[in-house]
Homo-oligomer: A and B are copies of this chain.
Amino acid sequence: MSNSSRILNTKLTERIMSAKQAASFIEEGMVVASSGFTKSGDSKAVLNALAGRAASNHFQVTLMTGASLGHGTDGTLATSGALALRLPFQSDPVMRTIINEGALMYIDENLSETAAHLKNGFLPSIDVAIIEATLIEADGSIVPTTSVGNSAIFTALAKQVIIEINEAVPLEIQGIHDIFLPEDATGRAIIAITDVWQRIGQCSIPCDPDKIAGIVFTNLKDSPADIVSTDPTTRAIARHLLDFFEAEVNAGRLTRSLRPIQAGIGKVANAVLDGFANSEFEHLTVYSEVLQDSTFDLIDAGKLDFASGSSMTVSDVCYARIFGDFEKYKHKILLRPQDITNAAEVIQRLGVIAINTALECDIYGNVNSSHIAGSQIVNGIGGSADFAQNSYLSIFVTESICKGGTISRIVPMVTHVDHSEHDVDIIVTEQGLADLRGLAPREKAETIIQNCVHPDYQDMLSDYFTQACKKGGHTPHLLEMAFEWFKNLAETGSMKKKKDPVTTMRSSQPVYQLFS
């Protein structure tokens, strides 16, 4: 163990212990806060030890993180019954099932808000924070690893801090973190970022050495991001979007460097970023949550000048590439706390172009990003509303159909609203793009039905809209028919009227499996 190079405060070396010992500080009913944002920089040892300890001692805790944890951790904690409450985000299939069964309470929060909710006393106070670190500075401050997430606020508010020093993370990562802790609302702090590359904080997370209860050494890589290759559908969506940007440049509303881009996780968002690599756009910038493979591909392609995010979540191949020549990337990226990457004032000031994936849209431009059939959660709202509400352009992408066409992702009325029509400017499917800017609801419906809907469902939606208009209204709906398609889906396995014995069998599966 090269303690000396990873713990610059020698007094703290006494606190080195095993994950099991560290986990033993955690008792029944405690509130545990952990680093980790979309699988990166998460606790890889202590949380798993906690799962075992909680199972054998039959107790439960509250767990809050930055976002989702690495492979299996959330699933292990959930199956071991270790958790009574989870927030603000998860994306584990096992945990999802237990949440949907009502056996685990889940507060699905806008990712920008957890820090403020903690500072304002709207959430239970933190007993133990578990933070993955590259090293501990002499003053006790913590240099994070591949994500920042909520680690800074967790460290500031926790009674005790457990640090996981991950020796798999190269020391050269030091310097890419920008830690700024805005004061509480009464503190009147301006988040003075006026350019994506602007640094406003320090390189490490301040931490009182006396609060550090344990230090655990690990040597484990982050769970890699899945490599999602593009396909004709996602490439078609990307094409429509790139054509739109081209037209905006020609109309004089955008330049070839566009504006800072935020892209959610998902194969469609990935395809769009890939599309930029072979486009005429240049000097692009990213102001997003997660820096993915595509971010570094664009840097390599000489298209991307700078990327600001809260985590690096990349594939093994990309990870090796980045740290094989880190100097090349080091001065082109910054990792910040998620209440800074997702701050309304910065997103508005920079004029971010937000590209997020919709699970379901309706004809008036309302978007559902989180729930299946109004009830079953998939992951959560994540940062999508932080960006959709405050961006210069709020774009939602989705394939027009799924499950072999038995489900249309564009429906008369969404069964759950995460983003109202007021926060949605553009909807893109492989069929085409609907530009909703400056349109009234009835005009939005015509545009969406004409441009985005799959041919199999176009007549059905037109009929609904026509009948609804006969009944009237600013946003014409027929409540008695609004959810009929979901009734068909549940009964026949398809939103289309006609029966289909094959798909009927499917309908006995949990509904979200029909989508995922």
Assuming the A-B contacts A188-B194, A253-B120, A345-B344, are A479 and B487 also in contact, with contact meaning beta carbons closer than 8 angstroms in the complex? Answer: yes
Task: Write out the residue numbers on chain B whose beta carbons fall within 8 Å of the beta carbon of A374.
Answer: 413, 473, 475, 477, 479, 482
Task: Write out the residue numbers on chain B whose beta carbons fall within 8 Å of the beta carbon of A85.
Answer: 440
Task: Write out the residue numbers on chain B whose beta carbons fall within 8 Å of the beta carbon of A190.
Answer: 190, 192, 194, 345, 349
Bin chain A's interface residue count: 35 or more
A285 → chain B, closest Cβ, in Å?
Answer: 12
Q: How many angstroms between the C-alpha atoms of A455 and B47 in the bound complex?
A: 46
- Chain B residue at minimum C-beta to C-beta distance from A510: B472
- Chain B residue at minimum C-beta to C-beta distance from A480: B487
- Chain B residue at minimum C-beta to C-beta distance from A437: B122
Q: Which of A21-29, A263-271, A414-422 lies at the interface with chain B?
A: A414-422
- Report yes or no: B185 in contact with A348, Cβ–Cβ below 8 A: yes
A338 → chain B, closest Cβ, in Å?
Answer: 15
A423 → chain B, closest Cβ, in Å?
Answer: 8
The A contact surface, by secondary structure, is loop
Q: Is A219 an interface residue (CB 8 A)?
A: no
Total copies of this chain within the assembly? 2
- Chain B residue at minimum C-beta to C-beta distance from A489: B479
Task: Write out the residue numbers on chain B whose beta carbons fall within 8 Å of the beta carbon of A100.
Answer: 472-474
- Report yes or no: A390 in contact with B344, Cβ–Cβ below 8 A: yes
Q: Is A195 an interface residue (CB 8 A)?
A: yes
- Report yes or no: A474 in contact with B375, Cβ–Cβ below 8 A: yes
Interface residues of A in 479-501 (CB under 8 A from B): 479-480, 482-483, 486-487
Q: Is A17 an interface residue (CB 8 A)?
A: no
- Report yes or no: B189 in contact with A473, Cβ–Cβ below 8 A: no
Interface residues of A in 403-461 (CB under 8 A from B): 413, 415-420, 422, 425, 437-440, 442-443
- Report yes or no: B415 in contact with A479, Cβ–Cβ below 8 A: yes
Task: Write out the residue numbers on chain B whose beta carbons fall within 8 Å of the beta carbon of A297.
Answer: none
Interface residues of A in 380-420 (CB under 8 A from B): 381, 385, 389-390, 392, 413, 415-420
A88 → chain B, closest Cβ, in Å?
Answer: 10
A277 → chain B, closest Cβ, in Å?
Answer: 24
Q: Is A110 an interface residue (CB 8 A)?
A: yes
A441 → chain B, closest Cβ, in Å?
Answer: 8
- Report yes or no: A474 in contact with B377, Cβ–Cβ below 8 A: yes
Task: Write out the residue numbers on chain B whose beta carbons fall within 8 Å of the beta carbon of A280.
Answer: none
Task: Write out the residue numbers on chain B whose beta carbons fall within 8 Å of the beta carbon of A415.
Answer: 477, 479
Q: Is A514 an interface residue (CB 8 A)?
A: no
Q: Is A235 an interface residue (CB 8 A)?
A: no
Most buried by B among A194, A195, A417: A417
Q: How many angstroms between the C-alpha atoms of A468 and B376 in the bound complex?
A: 11
- Report yes or no: A422 in contact with B194, Cβ–Cβ below 8 A: no
Task: Write out the residue numbers on chain B whose beta carbons fall within 8 Å of the beta carbon of A177.
Answer: none
Q: Is A105 an interface residue (CB 8 A)?
A: yes
A123 → chain B, closest Cβ, in Å?
Answer: 5
Q: Is A108 an interface residue (CB 8 A)?
A: yes
- Report yes or no: A475 in contact with B107, Cβ–Cβ below 8 A: no
Q: How many angstroms between the C-alpha atoms of A438 and B117 in the bound complex?
A: 8
Q: Is A44 an interface residue (CB 8 A)?
A: no
Q: Is A224 an interface residue (CB 8 A)?
A: no
Interface residues of A in 222-276 (CB under 8 A from B): 251-253, 259
- Report yes or no: B188 in contact with A473, Cβ–Cβ below 8 A: no
Query: Which residues of chain A have a CB within 8 Å of any CB of chain B?
Result: 85, 99-102, 105-110, 113, 117, 120-124, 184-186, 188-192, 194-195, 251-253, 259, 344-345, 348-351, 366, 371, 373-377, 381, 385, 389-390, 392, 413, 415-420, 422, 425, 437-440, 442-443, 468-469, 471-477, 479-480, 482-483, 486-487
In the complex, the 10 A-B pairs of residues with the closest C-beta atoms, listed nearest first:
A185-B351, A375-B473, A345-B345, A377-B474, A417-B417, A344-B344, A105-B440, A188-B194, A479-B483, A374-B477
